[in-house]
Amino acid sequence: MTRKAPRRTAERIAETTLALFNRFGEPNVSTTQISAELNISPGNLYYHYPSKDELVNALFDRYENALSVLLPASGDVRDVEDAWFFLHTLLELIWQYRFLYRDLNHLLSRNRRLETHFPAILRRKKQALGTLVDHLTAGSGVAPADERARDALAANLVVLLTWWLSYEYVLNPRQALEPQNAEGALLRGAWHGLGLLVPYLDPEPRAHLQALLAAYDVTTT
């Protein structure tokens, strides 16, 4: 029984840190603030996480593991509704760990683990989104002309989805990343992502996709 308490405390610390990082940005949150939010001593926090970088790494590991579970689902995409669900789910995961993207340049400049692992995440996203493109445009008369065009489309999707929340934040830095604005931001990101695929679909799935996009009253930004 005595061995379970440290794990519960470590979990509480990680969850509280994630909430604070997401709300205020990682550079603006100190370990002193985290321990005060939890009503624990700084020494107790350091027992579980000896530095703030250890907290960042622990949260990044969670994100990386969740992404590893999600990305293979791109192979199950068969139609535009599957694609919508996949892109929206990917954006939901990015939102859950949005501090990583909000402060990405800062984190990459000083955290060796993120510096070495984040490029691999982008490559895996590109591979998964390339699979999505392949499945969605299979048999289409207007599919990407060759492997280079297909890779360019997948890369464009990665760029859009990876930095969509940063775009929202720049437009509205005081409110864009607040929890109450999550659904609108995610819908807009998925909407624009699917919009990149419209030219590569045959008339019937293109009409289906356009109807799907129109069904969501998305105020574009």
Residue-wise pLDDT tens digits, 131-152:
999 888 876 656 676 889 899 9
- For residues 206 and 163, give the distance between their C-alpha atoms in angstroms, rounded to a whole number: 26
Cβ(49)–Cβ(84) below 8 Å: no
Q: What is the CATH number of domain 57-215?
A: 1.10.357.10
Asked if pLDDT for residue 173 goes beyond 90, the answer is no
Pick the CATH number of 1-50 from 1.10.10.60, 1.10.10.10, 1.10.490.10, 3.30.70.270: 1.10.10.60
* pTM for this model (two decimals): 0.87
Cβ(142)–Cβ(202) below 8 Å: yes
- For CATH 1.10.357.10, the residue range(s) in the chain are 57-215
- For CATH 1.10.10.60, the residue range(s) in the chain are 1-50
Asked if pLDDT for residue 1 goes beyond 50, the answer is no
